[in-house]
Amino acid sequence: MFVPSRIVLAASIAVLVDAAALSTVTLDYGTFTGVTNTTTGIIYFRGVRYADPPVGELRWRAAVSPPTTQLGNVIATDVYVPIATTANNALPVLVYFLGGTPVHDNGTLNAGLLDQKAALVWVQKYIRKFGGDPNCVTIWGESAGAGATMFHLIGDGGANGNVLFHQAMGDSPSLNFLPHYNDAFTEDLFSHGCSGTGSVIMECLRAIPTDALALVGNKTLANRTSSWYPFAPIADGQFIKYRPVDAFHSGKFARVPVLFGSNTNEGAHWCAGLANPAANTVNPNATETNVYNCITGQFNTFTQASFQTGLALYPLATYNNSFDLQAQQMYGEMRYICSAIMITGAAQNFGLKAYQYHWDNPILSSDHVADLSAFFYGTQTFDDADQTLVNAMRRYFTSFGTSGAPVAADSITWAVSNLSIALYPSDWFRLLSPVQISMVVPEFCFTRAISR
């Protein structure tokens, strides 16, 4: 049994490319009015309801969509369309999964992922009303959002590809420990005011007020002092039929073009921020045991034997005898870097278009989420070299979302197959070829060790 720590907005939907004014949209269950911003050139439809609120008997169940009620905190999304869009435009659609932290007896596992799937089903049924094309849908996310993209690639055994979505992108996809639904799992959360088994516990949990349940979830998080993400999806045998590594190695994933990548310093700061001194790698008395405790705190099936293999591949001397730097590299590659390579490598092995990148930028940072500065407009300013890079990356990702191939005018060609690493405009953004990916994977990836 698995309980999410919180219920979050599953997706935000953006319709791309320029396309009068579509300020009001009427669906068969309600009318929605957008807010026009002439500065950005976008009409914002915020809080578009697409499923009933997950309360009462609907808590921890698959989303009910379209919504049957206008009461309560219904599950909603935002839809952004260019000004001057009409319902006849059929513009490409981008569904962005937000990052964050995502029950078998009389409950539904992976409720958060199923909320996202409901959003994708909603897109197929209603996005034409907003001027979108349901036959050109790209899913995208960063970190846990990229992990969600990964799970949708393998969801329902890969059957949703070219049905609910047609391209997939992911920045630093998070690969979590993925237990099977019938694995033994004990947690204080389930004994907090509830007793019994199966449907009895679920009935009790569904009756707990949301605020009280959140406090119990926070208590669970506080007790996991060696772990950042104790809550994660589960191999439920239904939506997630196979664990990610097995699914991608065996070809049980959606047959769509993919674009995935990661950053150099994905593992920075994680182990150093753990509350448990035995797992904190900047502890003055740290040893290799601290490194092991940090890794097993995130992947609790990672064995001592696998760790010893890892030490041979990550010799301490390579990291200036710093346990923290050693742990950074191990953790970053295990959770984020190798998962991106695994996805694109599998896609290429099965004859699909796949594009891989590596973000390594000493000016803008190469830590986890640092690459997002290239995509989302904010207050940050760039020097000439980085502005050129940022412009190119936006064009690459936008064109992939509209055509399934990353193309940027006045920039290098991002080829699927290329024997040499292409650099643009320097080492800061590397476009990796299939040959290089297949050569890199055996050197530092432990995906099989952490996926069970």
Q: pLDDT 10s per residue in the chain (452 long)? A: 232 222 222 345 565 544 446 789 999 988 999 999 999 889 999 989 887 777 666 676 677 777 776 655 668 889 999 998 888 889 999 999 987 555 444 445 687 888 899 999 999 999 999 999 999 999 999 999 999 999 999 999 999 999 999 999 999 999 877 776 666 554 544 545 677 666 777 778 777 777 877 787 777 778 888 888 777 787 888 899 998 988 998 999 999 999 999 999 999 999 999 999 999 999 999 999 999 999 999 888 888 988 998 898 899 999 999 999 999 999 998 899 989 988 998 998 899 999 988 888 888 899 999 999 888 877 888 888 888 888 889 999 999 999 999 998 888 888 773 323 332 333 344 444 443 433 333 334 444 444 43
pTM: 0.85
What architecture (CATH level 2) is domain 245-450? 3-Layer(aba) Sandwich (3.40)
Burial of 36 (0-12, 13-18, 19+ CB in 10 A): middle
Contacts of residue 448, Cβ cutoff 8 Å, sequence gap at least 6: 245
Contacts of residue 210, Cβ cutoff 8 Å, sequence gap at least 6: 55
pLDDT at 181: 62
Q: CA 411 to CA 408: how far, in whole Å?
A: 5
Q: Nearest 10 degrees: CA dihedral of 310, 315, 320, 323?
A: 40
Q: Are 130 and 25 in contact (CB under 8 A)?
A: yes
Domains 11-142+179-231 and 245-450 fall in the same CATH topology: yes
What architecture (CATH level 2) is domain 11-142+179-231? 3-Layer(aba) Sandwich (3.40)
pLDDT at 175: 86
Q: Are 3 and 103 in contact (CB under 8 A)?
A: yes
Q: How far is CA 431 from CA 82, 339, 383, in A?
A: 30, 16, 22
In the chain, where the domains are located? 11-142+179-231, 245-450
Strand order across the beta sheet in which 42-51 lies: 35-37, 42-51, 75-82, 11-15, 91-97, 132-142, 167-171, 258-263, 354-359, 429-432, 422-423
Q: Are 399 and 166 in contact (CB under 8 A)?
A: no
Which segments of 148-232 are extended strands (E)?
167-171
Q: CA 327 to CA 292: how far, in whole Å?
A: 8
